[in-house]
Chain A
Amino acid sequence: RKEVEQDPGPFNVPEGATVAFNCTYSNSASQSFFWYRQDCRKEPKLLMSVYSSGNEDGRFTAQLNRASQYISLLIRDSKLSDSATYLCVSFRGGNNRKLIWGLGTSLAVNP
């Protein structure tokens, strides 16, 4: 089992829809989390950081559930430009600190 798991999708939604992705993690030493956005054949870019229970930035909301070990990303009022792959990343602390990358969830927003 991968340490960070995501539903690969694709999620196909109409413009204006609300869509949510979940990312599960298996290591309780995970301290903080990140959502990166990656457009096709481009570099990942940070969308949101989550250091405590959650974070909100405009149409994007991330929520962390430590008890169930998952983090979600909610996108409201989807735009065509939101079409991308969304990568979930956990920072594992302790003696073997490292970033653990999920494989990503693909989102296609349709007109």
Chain B
Amino acid sequence: NAGVTQTPKFRVLKTGQSMTLLCAQDMNHEYMYWYRQDPGMGLRLIHYSVGEGTTAKGEVPDGYNVSRLKKQNFLLGLESAAPSQTSVYFCASSRGQLNEKLFFGSGTQLSVL
């Protein structure tokens, strides 16, 4: 049982490049989330989805886009990467409510030069 799988684990981008982070869960969860974690800032919600075909903005959505075309996948896109987007990104999922256990992926370390 894989749980939540994120790819890639590491990536280095140049300013202005684009990329997509992939998240897949095999637990049939309704809710999926993208967080970023920075020193001194804690976990901050970028975007989330409450079901297939839906997305919503979190606390820090600017510079990111997401899609949830299939229930098991949640994609995070950076159209034009900036150094301020250097961070560790975590995908997570939960069964059906915000106040339930979150299952996290192992994270993506992204550096934007």
A interface list, Cβ under 8 A from B: 31-32, 34, 36, 41-46, 49, 87, 91, 93, 97-99, 101-104
**In the complex, which residues 81-99 of chain B have their Cβ closer than 8 Å to any Cβ of chain A?**
88, 90, 98-99
Shortest distance in angstroms between A28's beta carbon and chain B's nearest beta carbon?
A: 16
The answer to the question of B45 belonging to the interface, with a C-beta cut-off of 8 Å to chain A, is yes
18 further A-B pairs in the complex, CB-CB below 8 A; given A43-B107, A93-B99, A99-B102: A31-B99, A41-B88, A42-B107, A43-B90, A43-B104, A43-B105, A44-B102, A44-B104, A45-B104, A46-B101, A46-B102, A98-B45, A99-B98, A99-B99, A101-B43, A101-B44, A102-B42, A104-B42
How many chain B residues sit at the interface, stated as a range, is 10 to 19
Please judge, given known A-B contacts A87-B43, A104-B42, whether A43 and B101 are in contact too, CB under 8 Å: no
A45 to B102, CA, bound (A): 8
Residue of A32, A44, A45, A104 contacting most chain B CB atoms (<10 Å): A44
The answer to the question of B111 belonging to the interface, with a C-beta cut-off of 8 Å to chain A, is no
Overall SS of chain A's interface: strand
Contact B98 A103 (CB under 8 A): no
A32 to B94, CA, bound (A): 16
CB neighbours of A91 from chain B (8 A):
98-99
Contact of A99 among B40, B45, B105 (CB under 8 A): B45
CB neighbours of A103 from chain B (8 A):
40-42
Contact A49 B101 (CB under 8 A): yes
CB neighbours of B45 from chain A (8 A):
98-99
CB neighbours of A87 from chain B (8 A):
42-43
Contact B98 A44 (CB under 8 A): no
- With CB as the reference atom, state the residue of chain A lying closest to B88: A41
